[in-house]
Amino acid sequence: MAGTFTTRTITMATGATETMHDLTNACSAFLREAAHGRNGLLHVFTPHPTSGLAIIETGAGSDDDLLAALRGVLPADDRWGDRHGSPGHGSGHVLPALVPPHATLPVVDGELELGASQSVVLVNTDQDGPERQVRLSFLG
């Protein structure tokens, strides 16, 4: 039997500050419609040069810790060669080298297989873009 491929783009408001947006529920809802109980892979991708995707525990402080670590490694100041946009915007263009814009995750019996307390999150440090898109694709 040949595999199937289903894809959908979701859009979310990210505002004008650094943020982490939990995508886990959106991924699960997409798989309920697309996977139909099958095994396969969920690929998550954001096409923005200042956003990335992480698999991380949320709600216990790890999400805030990640944003603090990124501020330390990628401070939003004038050291960056990329100077378009708001001051410090260039740091966001380095973000995808540290937090990649994609993740591929296992799907077993139509459900996302994450570890205990893991969530799929969009990491966005850009203050110039009020919304972001994420493409969810199931191959099974």
pLDDT tens for each residue of the chain, 140 residues long: 467 999 999 999 988 788 899 999 999 999 999 999 999 999 999 999 889 999 999 989 998 999 999 999 988 888 877 767 776 677 888 899 999 999 999 999 999 999 999 999 999 987 777 899 999 999 99
Q: Using alpha carbons only, give the angle 112, 42, 63 rounded to the nearest 5 degrees.
A: 65
pTM confidence score:
0.91
User: What are the extents of the domains in the chain?
Assistant: 5-139
* Residues recorded for the chain: 140
Fill in the amino acid letter for 52. G
Measured between alpha carbons, how far is 55 from 38 in angstroms, rounded to an integer? Answer: 22
For domain 5-139, give the CATH superfamily: YjbQ-like (2.60.120.460)
